[in-house]
Structure 1
């Protein structure tokens, strides 16, 4: 390789290191390995060869490792003491030394043949770098820029230079974006496959909402307020159960923020998804009442049997639709949040049920 070509070669490696973060030394070692494989393929394994590239000049040298002997019987493996001392004055019998081989023709051809190996190494390094970068943001909420949405509804995003895709099934029903929009995404498990990095990205996962709450509400991040549970129907409505051991803290007020600013920031990020902050209570009766907000609850009875726990809730007639919610959403989310089945009755229907139950009891006694 001519000195000009050597310089260009090293400059190309420097550029790869700057632009792609691929370590120059790893590339040089890959080239040396490729050249050695090519040399042995042409000249045979018996020639104990080694190849080095000068890190400063780019000069390629081919060496054959020889043992210093009195009389040479294996030219490919031995060198006479006289010849050895002509190269290194202090050579002695039994020494092992590297003898440079004049292989200019091979070096010119081998470097061309090794280009594909270098390209492959660059691809491997890029793949590894991408994996490492994704691994650094695993189980985190990250900011991203929207690039496009394809015909299947998949969202293509850019995460600080990393290209990624949020599958359509991991977008909420409210998510509608344009190119250039800044959004937040939850990065779940990251795995390395044979061809590319596999990563779970979502805007539906409860972890996204949990992360947003931590980002916007310092008391949650600091552990002063604890998120006990989340019941979410992404893009529509969410209930969050929160608790604090500090009796003087206005927990709901801290979560909502002055003039609703804290919670509104999260609602805006989630494209208008409604968020109910619910005070958690170890008493299930109180917890169910809180979870059914904004409905006003008259009473809650917890009924336990071998199969399940049921919260029998009584509300006034004018509160029934609020308690159940549109398409049953309010009661459904409350049940999920509390981990209990919720059975809602009006006061009138509950009294009728109780009267029938008492009549049955009387008839049974008779």
Structure 2
């Protein structure tokens, strides 16, 4: 029996990919529970230990040290307690060995089985959760189990199942049952049924992880990805910089004859990827971000976090992109609102500003002349008033007026 028990224990641990010690602990708890159920009247606090080498089962009951034993199932004398625990005194609790139930084999085979399996399922869930939680933010591979257009897709990741919601799917991709695909592991949540794993094909960090996989310089930190703007399935922009002199960050990501970037494009099923140089100076960064167009002037309105970008007329549609995509991605990449102008429109705006400035200057000059004329009139009026006041004062002095009393 001992040999069979240990063999079964070892096989169970291997099948469930669980540590043997964890299985052992689950069985000990299960046996204790089963023995309690077999003799509920005793009310004993039972514990069980299982020798992993021999398979021997030992049963212990927690008993209180008393002077006179009244309930042998729960109490023990001082003398007996000191054989178990040296120095035991009244009121202490000791674990006293108990004889195995006469039907211990049947109990272990029947009652403990369900409890053991339950504990194993719980342990397996915890291990799976911990295993996949460590891979949050990584790319994992799975086989599609269910795939219906416009609905959530389920994937088999080997030891667990993952969900790929519709909003996390790339619009240009088609999925079919049995297809193996790479996904970005967004989050793992522990549930009573096991880990709930959320994956994505449209997350911008999937693009970042692909660069880390395909470009050694990115993985090693020689080239850093500073920003990503992505419209999954259609187009993305990636801003990169070098941490060491003499390194071409854009060239490193593209690879010889474009082999590195092509591997990423293939994985994303044809998504276009623009790799641009990051620059801490906003004008330079905005210019780079609007690639493949070539801006000739960038004017920043910092209070509004807006940049007016002037491009050659022939590149206006190129700078804006299909349905504004190029400008939209560049704005998200740089963090600036971008207002794209052609050179002709920009020159017209400058002429209007200059004309408006001339009109204002002329108006100011005319207003100045009018102000000077008014000032002259005012000065003349003041002079006349002063002359009148002086004449009145002189008249008062020469012909004084006196008041006489009536006779």
Q: TM-score, normalised by structure 1?
A: 0.83
Which one of 306, 311, 320 corresponds to residue 310 of structure 1? 306
Aligned twin of 2:41: 44
Aligned twin of 2:52: 55
- The answer to whether the Cα contact below 8 Å between 1:174 and 1:270 also exists between their aligned partners in 2 is no
Residues 104-124 of structure 1: per-residue CA shift (max 9 Å, x gap) = 136524642232211211110
CA distance change for structure 1 residues 276 and 39 in 2, over 3 Å: closer, same or farther?
A: same
- The answer to whether the Cα contact below 8 Å between 1:298 and 1:314 also exists between their aligned partners in 2 is yes
SS in 2 for 1:104: coil
Aligned twin of 1:35: 31
Aligned twin of 1:328: 324
Aligned twin of 1:283: 281
- The answer to whether the Cα contact below 8 Å between 1:312 and 1:345 also exists between their aligned partners in 2 is yes
SS in 1 for 2:296: strand
RMSD: 3.3
Aligned twin of 2:393: none
Offset of residue 66 of structure 1:
7.1
Residues 45-87 of structure 1: per-residue CA shift (max 9 Å, x gap) = 5546444445355454545567999986544334898xx8xxx
Moved more, 341-350 or 49-58: 49-58
Gaps of 5+ in 2: 364-407
Counterparts of 2:66 and 2:340, CA distance in 1: 99
Aligned twin of 2:338: 342
- Highest Rg: 1 or 2? 2
Aligned twin of 1:114: 112
SS in 2 for 1:153: coil
Moved more, 277-286 or 57-66: 57-66
Counterparts of 1:150 and 1:195, CA distance in 2: 24
Aligned twin of 1:239: 237
Counterparts of 1:189 and 1:343, CA distance in 2: 37
Matched positions, count: 353
Moved more, 112-121 or 44-53: 44-53
Offset of residue 245 of structure 1:
5.1
- The answer to whether the Cα contact below 8 Å between 1:64 and 1:101 also exists between their aligned partners in 2 is no
Decide which structure has greater helix share.
2
Aligned twin of 2:385: none
Offset of residue 354 of structure 1:
2.1
Aligned twin of 2:378: none
SS in 2 for 1:297: coil
- The answer to whether the Cα contact below 8 Å between 1:219 and 1:225 also exists between their aligned partners in 2 is yes
Larger RCO of the pair (alpha carbons < 8 Å, separation 6+)? 1
- The answer to whether the Cα contact below 8 Å between 2:221 and 2:243 also exists between their aligned partners in 1 is no
Gaps of 5+ in 1: none
Q: TM-score, normalised by structure 2?
A: 0.75
Residues 240-294 of structure 1: per-residue CA shift (max 9 Å, x gap) = 1112255533332222111111100000111111000111222322222221111
**Mapping for residues 83-102 of structure 1, pairs under 5 Å:** 98-101=96-99
- The answer to whether the Cα contact below 8 Å between 1:158 and 1:164 also exists between their aligned partners in 2 is yes
Which one of 8, 16, 24 corresponds to residue 20 of structure 1? 16
Which one of 239, 251, 254 corresponds to residue 253 of structure 1? 251
Counterparts of 2:89 and 2:328, CA distance in 1: 85
CA distance change for structure 1 residues 228 and 71 in 2, over 3 Å: closer, same or farther?
A: closer
- The answer to whether the Cα contact below 8 Å between 2:26 and 2:120 also exists between their aligned partners in 1 is no
Which one of 161, 166, 169 corresponds to residue 167 of structure 2? 169
Moved more, 127-136 or 346-355: 346-355
SS in 2 for 1:142: strand
Moved more, 125-134 or 23-32: 23-32
Which one of 293, 296, 308 corresponds to residue 294 of structure 2? 296
CA distance change for structure 1 residues 46 and 184 in 2, over 3 Å: closer, same or farther?
A: closer
Counterparts of 1:93 and 1:189, CA distance in 2: 52
Offset of residue 326 of structure 1:
0.3
